Amino acid sequence: MAQNTVIKDLIKVNYPYTSKIGQSDTYFGTSVEDPYRWLEDDRSPDTEKWVNRQNNVTFNYLENIPFREGLKKRLEELWNYEKLGSPFEEGKYTYFYKNNGLQNQYVVYRKTANGEEEVFLDPNTFSEDGTTSLMGLRFTKDGSKAAYLISEGGSDWRKAIVVNADDKKIVEDTLVDIKFSGISWKGNEGFFYSSYDKPEGSELSAKTDQHKLYYHKLGTAQSEDKLVFGGTPEEKHRYVGGSVSEDGNYLYIAASVSTSGNKLFLKDLQKPESPLITILGDTDSDTYVIDNEGSKLFLVTNRNAPNKKIVVTDAANPTPENWTDFIPETEHVLTAGTGGGYFFAEYMVDAISKVYQYDYDGKLIREVKLPGVGSASGFGGKKKNREFYFSFTNYNTPGSSYKYNVETGNYEQYWKPKIDFNPSDYESTQVFYESKDGTKVPMIITHKKGLKLDGKNPTILYGYGGFNISLTPSFSIVNAVWMEQGGVYAVPNLRGGGEYGKKWHVAGTKMQKQNVFDDFIAAAEYLTDKGYTSKEYLAIRGGSNGGLLVGATMTQRPDLMQVALPAVGVLDMLRYHTFTAGAGWAYDYGTAEDSKEMFEYLKGYSPVHNVKKGTEYPATLITTGDHDDRVVPAHSFKFAAELQEKQTGNNPALIRIETNAGHGAGTPVSKTIEQYADIFGFTLFNMGFESLPNEQVISDGGQ
Give catalytic residue positions.
Answer: 544, 663
Helix or strand holding residue 253 (H, E): strand 250-256
Ramachandran region of residue 450, left (φ > 0), alpha (ψ -120 to 50) or beta? left
Q: Give the torsion through C-alpha atoms of 583, 586, 591, 593, to 10 deg.
A: 70
Asked if 281 and 261 touch (Cβ cutoff 8 Å), the reply is: no
- Residue 110's closest CA among 102, 100, 98, 101? 98
Asked if 196 and 210 touch (Cβ cutoff 8 Å), the reply is: yes
Q: How many CB atoms lie within 10 A of CB 634?
A: 25
Rounded to whole angstroms, how far apart are CA atoms 355 and 375?
10
Alpha carbon 669 to its chain centroid, in Å, reads: 17
Q: Please say whether the dihedral angle defined by the alpha carbons of residues 655, 659, 660 and 664, taken in this order, is positive or negative.
A: negative
HEC sequence for 109-170: EEECCCCCEEEEECHHHCCCCCCEEEEEEEECCCCCEEEEEEEECCCCEEEEEEEECCCCCE
Rounded to whole angstroms, how far apart are CA atoms 186 and 136?
17
CA dist list (Å): 525 to 440, 519, 531, 532, 533: 14, 10, 10, 10, 10
Rounded to whole angstroms, how far apart are CA atoms 502 and 50?
42
Rounded to whole angstroms, how far apart are CA atoms 227 and 213?
6
Q: Residue 567 corresponds to which amino acid?
A: A
- Residue 243's closest CA among 232, 254, 227, 259? 254
Q: End-to-end alpha-carbon separation of the chain, Å?
A: 28
Strands 459-462 and 538-543: parallel
